[in-house]
A and B are shown apart, each in its own frame.
Chain A
Amino acid sequence: MDGKELIKFEEEIKEVFLQGKIKAPIHLSGGNGDALIEIFSCVHPEDWVFSTHRSHFHALLKGIPPEWLKEQIIKGNSIHIMNSEYKFFTSAIVGGTCPIALGVAIAIHRSGGKEHVWCFIGDMASESGIFHECQKYARNFQLPISYVVEDNGLSTNTPTEKAWGGREQLPYTPKYQYERTFPHINVGEWVEFK
Chain B
Amino acid sequence: MGYKEEITKAMTMLGKDERTIFLGQSILYPGHVMYGTLSGVPDSKKIEMPVAEDMQMGISIGLALKGYIPISIYPRMDFLILAMNQLVNHLDKIEEMSEGQFKPKVIIRTMVGSKEPMNPGVQHCQDHTLGIRELVPNIHVIKILYPVDVMPVYEAVLEIDKSMVVIEMGDLYD
Contacts and interface: CB of A to CB of B under 8 A. Distances in A.
Interface of A: 77, 80, 82-85, 89, 91, 93, 96, 98-108, 111, 130, 133-134, 137
A144 B66 CA distance: 14
Interface in B61-114: 61-68, 85-86, 89-90, 94, 97-99, 101-102
Interface of B: prevailing SS? helix
A99 B89 contact: no
B111 to A, nearest CB: 22
Contacts of B60: 103
Contacts of B61: 99-100, 103
Contacts of B101: 82-85
5 contacts: A77-B97, A99-B57, A100-B59, A107-B66, A107-B67
A157 B133 CA distance: 35
Interface string B30-59: 000000000000000001001010111111
Interface residues of B, number: 28
4 nearest A-B residue pairs (beta carbon): A103-B62, A99-B58, A107-B66, A82-B98
B59 A102 contact: yes
B82 to A, nearest CB: 11
Contacts of B98: 80, 82, 84, 89
A106 B102 contact: no
A106 B85 contact: no
Contacts of A108: 66
B62 A96 contact: no
Contacts of A96: 58, 85-86, 89-90
Contacts of B64: 103
Interface of B: 47, 50, 52, 54-68, 85-86, 89-90, 94, 97-99, 101-102
Contacts of A82: 94, 97-99, 101-102
A1 to B, nearest CB: 22
A137 B8 CA distance: 30
Contacts of B102: 82, 84, 89
B90 A100 contact: yes
Contacts of B47: 106
Nearest to B58: A99
Contacts of B55: 98-99, 102, 130, 133-134, 137
Contacts of B66: 103-104, 107-108, 111
B54 A103 contact: no
A137 B50 CA distance: 9
Given A100-B65, A130-B55, 4 more contacts: A100-B90, A102-B58, A106-B62, A130-B58
A107 B63 CA distance: 6
Contacts of A91: 89-90
Nearest to A97: B58
A137 B64 CA distance: 18
Contacts of B90: 91, 93, 96, 100
B112 to A, nearest CB: 25
Given A89-B102, A106-B59, A99 B54 contact: yes
Nearest to B66: A107
A96 B55 CA distance: 9
Nearest to A134: B55
A83 B98 CA distance: 7
Contact of A99 (B62, B67, B99): B62
